[in-house]
Structure 1
Amino acid sequence: MPQTSIDIYLPQQARVEEIIVENSQISTFVLSFSDRAYNNGFRHRPGQFVLVSMPHCGEAPISISSPSTRPGTIHLSVRRAGTLTTAMHGLRLGDTLGLRGPYGRPFPMEQLAGQDLLFVAGGIGLAPLRGVLNTCLDQRERYGALTVLYGSRTPSDIAFQADLELWREKGVDCRLTVDATEAGWSGSVGLVTALLDTVPPELSRSTALLCGPPLMFRAVLGKLATMGFSDEQVLTTMERQMKCGVGICRHCHMDGKLACVDGPVFSLAELRKLKILELAE
């Protein structure tokens, strides 16, 4: 939403409309802005984030996990980790928190039109990709085949199960794997990289979208390269400590770039130019 008449540092109050418990550590908060005119005009693009604040808990960037095609509410999928996210997990329906944004460079949805999209995620990493995938489903004729490869620690840790079920019903090829099995699990056990062997892509029209923990990220990058994906065909989001969200404080400095305005979405080719070697090895 244009910020011309709004203080970019002033959070807008948002009300909790629904809480979806994804697993023991992740919940999705469905929010609407208390200012109805602001809420009606709010728009974002897949891959962008907001800065979330609560009294005495500070502020943190959180990816928007809802699609750009469904205005009216905003979804934030949050893993309990620090002071702010733990406080968010104590919210109840009707409670409020502060949001400002949206910020950041989104996924290039126009460039992805006509492409087969391969989503590879681990844990909470499916959250920013969820918005991309649901945007694709809402504009289904614009995109090619949609495939989701999702890894979790255990079957109990699999998040977004309602989404995964709905995606399957809509023709998305969803394949899951876990690090450790539990009673009743008959699916794949092992690293998400093993799932890549089961989905040979048509490289001339494919793009991989990747988000997950660093160890998974490095392993998947190596596997994608072996499969023939070029650096330009791999997109990801970068997590960095952000304070302002608008490129002023420079807390999210990345070798000449800022994650908050030049990202958080980058191609692997861009990351290699930035010498983000711990991710690109």
Structure 2
Amino acid sequence: MKKTVLITGTSTGFGRSAALLFAREGWNVIATMRSPDAGDELARLDNVLVTRLDVQDRGSIEQALAAGLARFGRIDALVNNAGFGLFGVFESLSREKLQEQFDVNVFGVMDVTRAVLPHFRKQRSGLVINISSGAGVFALPMSSAYCASKFALEGFSEALSYELASQNIVVKIVEPGGVLSTDFGKRSGAEASRAAPPEDYAKFLAGAETVFAGLRAGRLATSEEVAEVIFRAATDGTDQLRYVATKDIEPLVKARRETSEPEYIAFMRSRFMFGR
């Protein structure tokens, strides 16, 4: 019997690339997105169901799940991919935008997962893959809201993995960094452009832009390459929890996870504490 995966946020980026890859590898795919009209290419595939799911609309979550089960009969894996980044100095971010950041990146993941778990428990098997970020491992300036949401996702996912092991359900985390071929940066840039920081941050912002321009220039991965890591996580048959998906973040992940706290903080401050 073919396996079935439900993926959120498949209109662009990692989600779209993952949906195409899973379908090409013979899986049934429930490709969900806020606006199904953006899924015409996916909808032309026989083993793909494109349906609406907005992680901020719990009714749409239940409807997408019901549509997927009606079409394919079961769900074997869930990929929580939908998300966005809110960037800018903390003082310039409104409470409303901060709430939206958590509604999408954290509570949306929780709501979709909660909806799928009874089905997984009934069949005594299932896999949840949550798409985190390097920003869920190490913190960067100008990304306090995004880092906070991804740090929360990491903690939620790890804790959940211990609970769900008792139900023969596996939880995994995929951690990508900068990627060339995705619209994620477009929405993130639009969100940041709405927030005008206090003038006192001008020197800091100039230094930050220089550093981040260098990071952007070093991006090596594509959304297709991240999709391959997601697919490997779904099919490698292990209970490995975390997968680093792009090479650009490996030095920072290594610094965070393999050095002492004083060494790590000194390393990060040497790179990111400018404008003093």
TM-score (norm 2): 0.35
Structure with more helix by fraction: 2
Structure with more strand by fraction: 1
TM-score (norm 1): 0.35
